[in-house]
Amino acid sequence: IRSDSSQVVNESIPQIYTKATEMRQIYRKIDKLEAFVKMIGNSVAGLEERVIKAETDLGAFPSTFKKILHTISMPSFLNKSSSSRQQQTLYEPPVLFKTEDYFPCLNEAPY
């Protein structure tokens, strides 16, 4: 029992402490990755909102509807009302993140 206890104290506990220290570093990396994924999710959600708003503002139809509408001859007064509905707004590109800012190792050359 004494030899087993001394082996645990002298060998196993330092190994466990070393592994626990390594795990803390992994936990920090996981926390950073979760924050990164959340930031990306917020960015994608914002872009989706802008796309939906642009489609609503510009009256975009799915491509099948566009094809059907192009084959049907529309009276001229209908075309005028749809074009007057569109407002010319300046396009402002969204601010995007750069992956290289978060993963600097991507700038390095491949093997």
Taking only the tens place, the pLDDT of each residue in 36-67 is 999 999 999 999 998 888 888 877 656 555 55
Within a domain: residue 65? yes
Within a domain: residue 86? no
Within a domain: residue 107? no
Residues 6+ apart with CB under 8 A from 99: 106
Determine the structural domain holding residue 56 and report its residue range: 1-73
* DSSP conformation letters of 29-72: HHHHHHHHHHHHHHHHHHHHHHHHHHHHHHT---HHHHHHHHHS
Q: How far is CA 19 from CA 10, 22, 83, 84, in A?
A: 15, 5, 67, 68
Q: What is the pLDDT of residue 5?
A: 85
Mean pLDDT of 4-11: 85
Most confident option among 7-11, 64-68, 74-78, 107-111 = 7-11
Q: Picking from 7-21, 39-53, 91-105, which range would have the lowest pLDDT averaged per residue?
A: 91-105
- Are the C-beta atoms of residues 87 and 57 closer than 8 Å to each other? yes
* Number of independent structural domains in the chain: 1
